[in-house]
Amino acid sequence: MAFFVKSMISSQVKNLGLGGGSEESKEEGGTSDPAAAHGMTREEYEEYQKQMIEEKMERDAAFAQKKAERACLRVHLREKYRLPKRTGNSLYKSAFLECSGG
């Protein structure tokens, strides 16, 4: 019973940051180097970061290309079927007016 009470109190003291948690803090964040945190050398980590940036740029370029294609298709369909260009807000207003009879 005494062990249980002592462990409860010590865990609460550690959570408050009043001491007793020095061993855990050394084990958790012993280094501030992000490469060591990922288990890589500094050169490997820099190469990894460059690769991630390049992949992100490729994804962004592909997304922009698809977005432009969709916009072009929307314009083409509006012209073909003579559809009015509506913003999201006016679409809701016109649907509300149709439902309310006004």
Domain ranges of the chain: 1-99
Residue 22: phi, psi to the nearest 5? -70, -35
Residues 6 or more apart whose CB falls under 8 angstroms from that of 10 comprise 20
What's the pTM? Answer: 0.51
CB 94 within 8 A of CB 86: yes
CB 85 within 8 A of CB 78: yes
Whole-number Å distance between alpha carbons of 58 and 64: 10
Digit-by-digit pLDDT tens for the chain (102 residues) are 666 666 667 666 666 665 554 554 444 555 678 888 888 899 999 999 999 999 999 999 999 999 999 999 999 999 999 998 877 666 556 655 566 655
pLDDT attached to residue 98: 64
User: Strands, DSSP E only, in the chain?
Assistant: none
